[in-house]
Amino acid sequence: MTAHEDGPLLRPYTITRGRTRPTGPEFDLMSIIRTSPSAYSGVTGLAPEHWRILQLCRVPSSVADLASELGLSLNVVRILLGDLRDQGLITARPQATVAQLPEERILREVIQGLQAL
């Protein structure tokens, strides 16, 4: 086995500094992540992967999309997101479910009200 073949096996361990779980609550696969305004004010000491997440999350992104874009495992991405959340650099919210959406009747009334204006 060459050193090049060993790289991918060691890299996640190195990126997470040996951690196997994120701090705080677990990030759901479909949680929506967004860079918070405080991320733009003099933040230093972040790993390149952290910076990449902050760049990607200028537009709200799901945890699954981030893992795909970064080419990292979901667990590694969740750990990195935990680091950023601990520093107040991202916000996370669950994806809207059908139960959280307003009733169709209410939406129709709002549309009718807007049309009447």
Predicted confidence (pLDDT) at residue 14 exceeds the cutoff of 50: yes
Residue-wise pLDDT for 21-76, tens only, equals 777 778 888 889 999 887 777 777 788 888 999 999 999 999 999 999 988 888 88
CB-based contact 60:34 (threshold 8 Å): yes
Rounded CA separation 75/94 (Å): 17
Predicted confidence (pLDDT) at residue 10 exceeds the cutoff of 60: no
Buried/exposed code over 44-82 (b: 16+ C-beta within 10 A; e: otherwise): eebeebbebbbebbeeebbbebbbeebebeeebbbbbbb
Predicted confidence (pLDDT) at residue 102 exceeds the cutoff of 80: no
Tell me what pLDDT residue 97 has.
Answer: 57
Is pLDDT larger for residue 87 or for residue 95?
87
Rounded CA separation 108/117 (Å): 14
Tell me what pLDDT residue 3 has.
Answer: 44
Q: How many residues does the chain have?
A: 117
Q: Across the chain, what does the average pLDDT equal?
A: 79
CA dihedral for 69, 49, 19, 62, sign (positive or negative): negative
Tell me what pLDDT residue 96 has.
Answer: 61
> Considering the entire predicted model, what is its pTM?
0.68
